[in-house]
Amino acid sequence: MHDVIATPPEGPQLRLPALGFGTWQLHDEECREAVRHALELGYRHLDTARMYRNETAVGAGLRDSGVDRDEVVVVTKVRPGDADRDGVAREVAASLRELDLDHVDLLLLHAPSPVPLEETMAAFAAERDAGRVTHLGVSNFSAEQLDRAAAEVPIGCVQNEYQPGRAPDDALAWCREHGAAYVAYSPLDVRGPVAEVLTEIGRAHERTWAQVALRWLLQQEQVATIPRSSNAQRRAQNLEVFDFTLTDEEMRRIEETA
Ligand SMILES: NC(=O)c1ccc[n+]([C@@H]2O[C@H](COP(=O)([O-])OP(=O)(O)OC[C@H]3O[C@@H](n4cnc5c(N)ncnc54)[C@H](OP(=O)(O)O)[C@@H]3O)[C@@H](O)[C@H]2O)c1
The one-digit pLDDT tens for each residue of the chain (258 residues) are 999 999 999 889 999 999 999 999 999 999 999 999 999 999 999 999 999 999 999 999 999 999 999 999 999 999 999 999 999 999 999 999 999 999 999 999 999 999 999 999 999 999 999 999 999 999 999 999 999 999 999 999 999 999 999 999 999 999 999 999 999 999 999 999 999 999 999 999 999 999 999 999 999 999 999 999 999 999 999 999 999 999 999 999 999 997
- Ligand 1 atom closest to the Cα of residue 139 is 1
Q: How many residues does the chain have?
A: 258
What sign has the CA pseudo-torsion 222, 238, 50, 89? negative
pLDDT in tens, 188-230: 999 999 999 999 999 999 999 999 999 999 999 999 999 999 9
Q: 192: left (phi > 0), else alpha (psi -120 to 50), else beta?
A: left
- Pairing between β-strand 14-17 and β-strand 133-139 as defined by DSSP bridges: unpaired
The CATH class of the 3-189+220-230 domain is: alpha beta
Q: Residue 195, class by beta-carbon neighbours within 10 Å (0-12 exposed, 13-18 middle, 19+ buried)?
A: middle
Task: Return the ∠ at Cα 183 (arms to 181 and 184), rounded to 5°.
Answer: 145
Cα-to-centroid distance, 119 and ligand 1 (Å)? 32
Contacts of 94 (CB under 8 A, 6+ apart): 50, 55
Point out the residues that are catalytic.
52
CA distance 251 to 258: 13
26 lines ligand 1 (CB under 6 A): no
CA-nearest residue for atom 43, ligand 1, is 229
Q: Give the residue among 185, 179, 252, 169 at the shortest CA–CA distance from 221.
A: 179
- Residue-range domain boundaries for the chain: 3-189+220-230
Question: What's the gap in Å between 185 CA and the centre of ligand 1?
Answer: 8
For residue 10, the CA-to-ligand 1 centroid distance in Å is: 33
Q: Which atom of ligand 1 is nearest to the CA of 231?
A: 41
